[in-house]
Amino acid sequence: MLLKGKTALITGASRGIGKEMARRFIEEGAAVWGLATKSSESARELAELAAQNGTVYHELIADIGNPDSVRPVIEAAVKESGGFSVLVNNAGITRDGLSFRMKLEDWETVLRVNLTGTFLVTQIVSSDMIRKRAGSIINLSSIVGLHGQGGQVNYAASKAGLIGYTKALAKETAGRGVRVNAIAPGFILTEMTDVIPEDAKKTWLETIPMKRAGTVQEVANAAVFLASDLSEYITAQVIGVDGGMGA
């Protein structure tokens, strides 16, 4: 039970990587609060799993890209939970397209959700962590934020921004007992990647030294490590879960 006694907030917790991280955190003993844009069946499943594991799961509903929506929800959650020892900023969206055709709305929406949303949530949660001089913040970036990807200039910019944000925030909070790290997944099998054409998937797989896609479980395992005391001397790092793509 690597996370027993810890209380975690995970954004984008209703599906994909976020749901799997919530599941793994619960299995490791954490009390989990999951933020999503709308209520889903996932929340009931996670609440049942939490009860079986002697802990709790709370569903939070807010639009992370809207300050007026997300701020009061996170402020109330910090107060009700007594404060979070772990924050996982996982919520993210894509609006792909070539840069010279991209609508300004698609550019701004991706940055607002992926980058500004992380800032809004972290600003509230980290203030409490700093007062308590303890906490672990985990930001979900991407290999695209490290190496770029054609047709995803908005997404790549947001994920590269998260890396800079991670490193800067880590330097602000390290002396106050709060660690900040990022995970940069590579090609991971999720609902988001299901829509990629098979020929494009084959091309991606050929670029991976391990010759296979990653799983949500493998990303969640990295998050468990960064959330736990096993990583207590690790901060300002970007951990690639990418099968060697970023080497």
Tell me what percent of the residues of the chain surpass a pLDDT of 90: 90
Please indicate if the annotation marks 158 as binding a ligand. Answer: yes
Residue of 162, 103, 160 whose CA lies nearest to 138: 162
In the chain, what percentage of residues exceed pLDDT 70? 100
CA distance 194 to 182: 24
Domain boundaries, the chain: 7-236
Query: What DSSP character marks residue 152?
Result: B
pLDDT at 223 over 90: yes
| Lookup: tokens for 16 | 């994909």
57 marked as part of a ligand binding site: no
Half-sphere exposure of 47 (CA within 13 A, CB side): 9
What is residue 191's predicted lDDT score, i.e. its pLDDT? 77
Model pLDDT, residue 29: 98
| CATH classification number, 7-236, choose in 3.40.50.720, 2.60.40.1180, 3.40.50.450, 3.10.20.30 | 3.40.50.720
Q: Convert the pLDDT of each residue in 23-80 to its tens digit.
A: 999 999 999 999 999 998 999 999 999 999 999 999 999 999 999 999 999 999 999 9
pTM of the model: 0.96
Residue 74, pLDDT score: 98
Among all residues, which ones are annotated catalytic?
155
Cα Rg for the chain, rounded, in angstroms?
17
Tokens 């490290």 identify what position? 146
The reply to whether 53 sits in an annotated binding site is no
Average pLDDT of the residues in 134-138: 98
Q: Does the annotation place 177 within a ligand binding site?
A: no
Mind listing the pLDDT tens digit for each residue in 96-133? Answer: 999 999 999 999 999 999 999 999 999 999 999 999 99
